[in-house]
Chain A
Amino acid sequence: DGGITQSPKYLFRKEGQNVTLSCEQNLNHDAMYWYRQDPGQGLRLIYYSQIVNDFQKGDIAEGYSVSREKKESFPLTVTSAQKNPTAFYLCASSRAGTIKGEQYFGPGTRLTVT
């Protein structure tokens, strides 16, 4: 079955630690995205990548970093510089081209930082 996997589902970290969230897709999609979802807010774009070895900042990139070394993988690192890291993180992918609204989402990772 084709799809997007994110791991882990729940993640707990202490303040000051960097943490990496995994995202893998086997849909053969070129574009991948990371969003953050907070209660009462719409999805906000953190980073996106349209091709391997290239990525762009979204609306709230500060305190986050990404890499895109393989087409299938787009890990997100939440650094200690992110002031409010506790949130639900969603990874998505879409077919080639510019930002596409028809995106396929993973199940999400809920990160709690204390």
Chain B
Amino acid sequence: EDQVTQSPEALRLQEGESSSLNCSYTVSGLRGLFWYRQDPGKGPEFLFTLYSAGEEKEKERLKATLTKKESFLHITAPKPEDSATYLCAVQAYQGGSEKLVFGKGTKLTVNP
């Protein structure tokens, strides 16, 4: 069964304290890995797409990387406005159809 596991479930950082979120996956036929940000009570906002191992994408204080089994979302010098739940999703091709599997998310809190 395809699985996407995000860790930790929750992370508290002080402003400026860099860290990483993890997304590990066990899927066959990987088509892409996606990161989203979700604020409380709102819909997810697309951040990054990664297609192959070794690929990296950056946006402001966020950098996403991909290996054959996991992806990391690195947050450098975070600010309180980076507080949100970060979702990882994996797109795989199985049995003749595409499937998108979401992880449960990591809730990030950045304290001033």
Q: Which residues of A contact B (CB under 8 A)?
A: 4, 6, 40-45, 90, 92, 98-108, 110
Contact = CB atoms under 8 A, between A and B. Distances in A.
B44 A90 contact: yes
B34 A101 contact: yes
Nearest to B4: A42
Interface string B16-37: 0000000000000001111000
Contacts, number: 54
Interface of B: 4, 31-34, 41-46, 49, 87, 89-91, 97-105
B68 to A, nearest CB: 18
A110 B43 CA distance: 11
Given A90-B44, A92-B43, A106-B43, A42 B49 contact: no
Contacts of A103: 46, 100
Given A42-B103, A101-B34, A101-B89, A108 B97 contact: no
A40 B41 contact: no
B49 A101 contact: yes
Contacts of B104: 40-42
A101 B91 contact: yes
A109 to B, nearest CB: 10
A5 B36 CA distance: 19
Say what secondary structure dominates the interface of chain B: strand
A58 B8 CA distance: 28
B32 A108 contact: no
A99 B34 contact: no
B42 A102 contact: no
A4 B45 CA distance: 12
A101 B44 CA distance: 12
10 contacts: A42-B101, A42-B103, A42-B104, A43-B89, A45-B100, A98-B97, A101-B100, A102-B34, A107-B42, A108-B43
A104 B46 contact: yes
The 3 A-B residue pairs whose C-beta atoms are closest, nearest first, are A105-B43, A42-B102, A99-B98
Nearest to B35: A101
Contacts of A105: 43-45
Nearest to A45: B100
